[in-house]
């Protein structure tokens, strides 16, 4: 999974390119066809780059040249990465000013943007040389090489770390931490151009075997990452001592892992709606899903084991089923659907993303930390506990959620599943239960079995059915009583009250509708104005108590 560069020199040369496009050259060929093929540290890497379709040659005065020491262009890098992954789909280039539609690299730049290896900009600089740090970023994006180290500790020992662009630090730190980049003589040389030979060496270190033919594969390289770039492949009875990359070239096709152990990560960039099957006997660690376009389904069958799914795909639905340890949706605007899935944990850390638990699924613990994200539990599904940390989160559906805990910061959360006990931490504001019932900060309530309201305490005076009382209407008292035509230099004292004991009052002074996120009334306050031309201030107030229906919103105008 994480491969150390064999030689220090090789490491120094290893570089990843930033947004780039096209192939190295204009002429296809075999490694032996190049008149200028070097005989040094880069020879074998260059030959394998040619044999695997990554690099092409230049036709110069009747000869085919590899130009090993020439700097790699951004367009060339884009082309090489596209070819390595078998990329086919393209993004629109509308608004890009320096990529002519007639240029040989136009399609490659469009593919690179679609892959997410290049970021679309007004100028893509396709014919500029690509620097080492740009190359590192591109490859980190392509191979999903990430690090949890936000302090960039892996860069500390390099004397030129200050020369690394802020935009490149995270990815470069991940590349160094993973062992793919070591630098030379204590330096990373982030701003230097990378040569074609250097880049070939990096790609040779990143991928040790390309699978280009459909069918059953039983022979795998002894050590290193394996990349599949065609559909219709079954890998059987092998151990992959590195990462398995299911590349873009798999498209909407299928791939089967039959009794396969992956010691590194499994990166899913390709596959379709009925696609990736992990059969009994297979053992995968972390599966990272990053498919840029279209649905992908991953089914874990029988006794196959998957430690964790990490979904960072920003397009259509991701479908998972089977015995899954942990499922995390980290990207924004993603829906992950789990069917007949046994989950130890489910985490939604991306914003506006959703995990849907469908028929036959169970969940031990869930967490929603992203903003405006949700977990939906459908009928017949059971979840033991869900913790909400993100704002405007939702837990819904007709299934069973035993308990939801809303932490401080989980403001405006909504929990509507039937029979769910809801506990709010001090500081959690605007939390609502079934039917829109308000749950005050630091209190708890339980939804009824229909999911239409909360279970209220019994009425005073004996048994019988629960009573859903309403908070009494708020009274807004002012001094002076007359609130029309108040002198501009005067102040009006405002007192709010309700006949309902234990109810909290929230108010606004700008005419907006008050909620539990508005100002909480504690003591009388004064209203005045600095506007010499006069001003109208509108007070609106509402009464809220857990187990009661909210009062009507009342308002009063004070005219200066």
Statement to judge: residues 136 and 250 lie in one domain: no
For residues 380 and 247, membership in a common domain is answered with yes
Q: Is residue 417 included in any domain, yes or no?
A: no
Reported as a pLDDT band with limits 50, 70 and 90, residue 491 is confident
300 found inside a domain: yes
Decide if 437 is inside a domain.
no
By C-alpha distance, which of 316, 400, 390, 311 is closest to 357? 400
**In angstroms, rounded to a whole number, what is the distance separating the alpha carbons of residues 210 and 74?**
23
Give the rounded distance of the alpha carbon of 155 from its chain centre.
Answer: 25
Between the alpha carbon of residue 274 and those of residues 43, 46, 348, the distances in Å are 42, 37, 24
If asked whether residues 331 and 367 sit together in one domain, one would say yes
| 116 and 72 both lie in a single domain | yes
Is 430 within the bounds of a domain?
Answer: no
The predicted structure's pLDDT at residue 30: 54
Q: What confidence score (pLDDT) does residue 188 get?
A: 95
Q: Which residues does 197 contact at the CB level (< 8 Å), separation at least 6?
A: 13, 38, 42, 45, 46, 68, 69
**Mean pLDDT, to the nearest integer, of 347-364?**
96
Tokens linked to 130 = 């690509």
Could you tell me if residue 543 is inside a domain?
yes
Count of structural domains within the chain: 3
Q: What tokens were used for 417?
A: 């599943």
Domain boundaries, position 13: 8-204
In the chain, the percentage of residues whose pLDDT exceeds 90 is 69
> Could you tell me the pLDDT band of residue 197, with boundaries at 50, 70 and 90?
very high
Within a domain: residue 433?
A: no
pLDDT digits 0-9 by tens, 18-41: 333 333 344 455 555 889 999 998
Are residues 243 and 296 both part of a single domain?
Answer: yes
233 and 177 within one domain: no
220 and 175 belong to one structural domain: no
489: in domain: yes
Domain termination residue (choose one: 372, 398, 424) = 398
Token code pair at residue 260: 């396969």
- Kindly state whether residue 442 falls inside one of the protein's structural domains: no
pLDDT of residue 80: 94
What is the pLDDT averaged over residues 131-147? 96
Single out the residue in 398, 427, 460 at which a domain terminates: 398
The per-residue pLDDT for 462 is: 43
* Same structural domain, 237 and 194: no
Buried b (16+ CB within 10 A) or exposed e, 469-494: eebbbbebebeeeebeebeeeeebeb
Residue ranges with strand state E in 137-232 = 209-211, 215-217, 226-228
- Per-residue pLDDT band at 514 (split at 50, 70, 90): very high
pLDDT at 489: 73
CB–CB of 231/246 below 8 Å? no
For residues 38 and 186, state if they share a domain.
yes
Q: What is the mean pLDDT of residues 331-357?
A: 95
Q: Helix (H, G, I), strand (E, B), or coil: what is residue 426?
A: coil
> Residues 143-163: what's their mean pLDDT?
93
Q: What is residue 32's predicted lDDT score, i.e. its pLDDT? A: 58
Quick check: 256 and 233 in contact, CB under 8 A? yes
Indicate if 494 and 370 belong to the same structural domain.
Answer: no
Give the integer Cα–Cα distance in Å for 507 and 540: 5
Span 99-115, pLDDT tens digits: 999 999 999 999 999 99
Residue with more model confidence, 543 or 482: 543
Mean pLDDT, range 62-86, rounded to an integer? 94
Mean pLDDT within 86-90: 95
Q: Is residue 10 pLDDT above 80, yes or no?
A: no
Confidence at residue 14, expressed as pLDDT on a 0 to 100 scale: 38
Examine residue 24 and say whether the peptide bond preceding it is cis (omega within 30 degrees of 0): no
Q: Which residue has better confidence, 22 or 361?
A: 361
Same domain, 105 and 149: yes
Report how far Cα 401 is from the mean position of its chain's Cα atoms: 25
Q: Which two tokens stand for residue 232?
A: 């219709």
Domain edge (last residue) among 176, 204, 232 = 204
pLDDT in tens, 424-450: 999 999 999 998 888 988 899 999 999
Query: What whole-number distance in Å separates Cα of residue 215 and Cα of residue 386?
Result: 43
Mean pLDDT, all residues of the chain: 88
For residues 176 and 311, membership in a common domain is answered with: no
Domain CATH code at residue 497: 2.60.40
- pLDDT value at position 553? 93
- What's the half-sphere exposure (Cβ side, CA atoms, 13 Å) at 43? 8
∠ Cα 357 360 365 (to 5°): 50
pLDDT digits (tens, 9 = 90+) for 233-259: 999 999 999 999 999 999 999 999 999
Q: What is the DSSP string of 267-326?
A: EE----TT-EEE-TT-EEEEEEE--SSS-EEEEE-TT-EEEEEEE---SS-EEEEEEEEE
pLDDT in tens, 258-304: 999 999 999 999 998 878 999 999 999 999 999 888 889 999 998 89
Contact indicator for 244, 264 with CB cutoff of 8 Å: yes
Give residues with Cβ within 8 angstroms of 173, minimum separation 6.
147, 149, 152, 153, 154, 155
């Amino acid at each position: 999974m994480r491969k150390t560069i064999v030689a220090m020199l090789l490491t120094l040369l290893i570089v990843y390119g930033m947004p780039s496009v096209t192939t190295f050259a204009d002429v296809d060929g075999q490694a032996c066809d190049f008149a200028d093929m070097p005989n040094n540290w880069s020879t074998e890497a260059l030959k394998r780059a040619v044999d695997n379709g990554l690099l092409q040659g230049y036709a110069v005065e009747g000869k085919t040249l590899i130009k090993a020491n020439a700097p790699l262009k951004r367009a060339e890098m884009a082309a090489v990465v596209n070819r390595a992954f078998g990329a086919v789909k393209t993004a629109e280039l509308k608004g890009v000013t320096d990529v002519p539609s007639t240029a040989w690299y136009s399609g490659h730049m469009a593919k690179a943007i679609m892959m997410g290896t290049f970021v679309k900009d007004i100028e893509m600089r396709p014919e500029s040389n690509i620097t080492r740090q740009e190359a590192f970023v591109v490859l980190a994006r392509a191979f999903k090489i990430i690090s949890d180290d936000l302090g960039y500790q892996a860069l500390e020992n390099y004397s030129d770390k200050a020369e690394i662009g802020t935009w490149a630090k995270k990815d470069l730190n991940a590349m160094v931490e993973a062992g793919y980049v070591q630098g030379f003589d204590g330096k990373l040389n982030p701003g230097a151009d990378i040569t074609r030979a250097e880049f070939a060496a990096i790609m040779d270190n990143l991928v040790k075997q390309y699978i280009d033919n459909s069918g059953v594969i039983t022979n795998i390289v002894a050590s290193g990452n394996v990349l599949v770039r065609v559909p219709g492949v079954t890998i059987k009875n092998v151990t992959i001592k590195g990462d398995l990359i299911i590349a873009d070239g798999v498209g909407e096709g299928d791939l089967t892992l039959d009794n396969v152990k992956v010691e590194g990560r499994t990166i899913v960039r390709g596959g379709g709606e009925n696609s990736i099957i992990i059969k009994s006997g297979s053992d995968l660690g972390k599966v990272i899903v990053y498919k840029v376009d279209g649905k992908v389904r991953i089914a874990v069958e029988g006794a196959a084991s998957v430690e964790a799914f990490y979904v960072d795909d920003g397009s259509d639905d991701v479908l998972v089923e089977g015995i899954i340890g942990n499922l995390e949706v980290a990207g924004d605007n993603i829906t992950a659907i789990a069917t007949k899935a046994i989950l130890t944990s489910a985490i939604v850390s991306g914003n506006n993303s959703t995990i849907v638990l469908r028929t036959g699924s169970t969940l031990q613990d869930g967490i929603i930390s992203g903003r405006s994200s949700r977990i939906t539990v459908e009928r017949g599904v059971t979840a033991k506990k869900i913790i909400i940390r993100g704002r405007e989160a939702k837990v819904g559906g007709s299934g069973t959620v035993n308990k939801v805990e809303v932490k401080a910061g989980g403001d405006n959360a909504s929990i509507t599943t039937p029979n769910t006990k809801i506990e709010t931490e001090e500081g959690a504001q605007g939390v609502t239960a079934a039917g829109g019932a308000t749950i005050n900060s630091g209190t708890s309530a339980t939804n009824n079995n229909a999911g239409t309201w909360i279970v209220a305490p019994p009425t005073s005076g004996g048994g019988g059915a629960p009573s859903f009382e309403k908070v009494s209407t708020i009274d807004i008292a002012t001094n002076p009583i007359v609130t029309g035509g108040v002198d501009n230099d005067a102040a009006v004292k405002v007192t709010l009250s309700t006949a309902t004991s234990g109810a909290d009052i929230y108010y606004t002074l700008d005419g907006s509708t008050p909620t539990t996120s508005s100002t909480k009334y504690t003591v009388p306050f004064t209203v005045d104005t600095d506007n010499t031309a006069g001003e109208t201030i509108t007070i609106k107030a509402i009464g809220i108590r857990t187990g009661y229906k909210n009062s009507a919103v009342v308002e009063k105008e004070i005219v200066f």
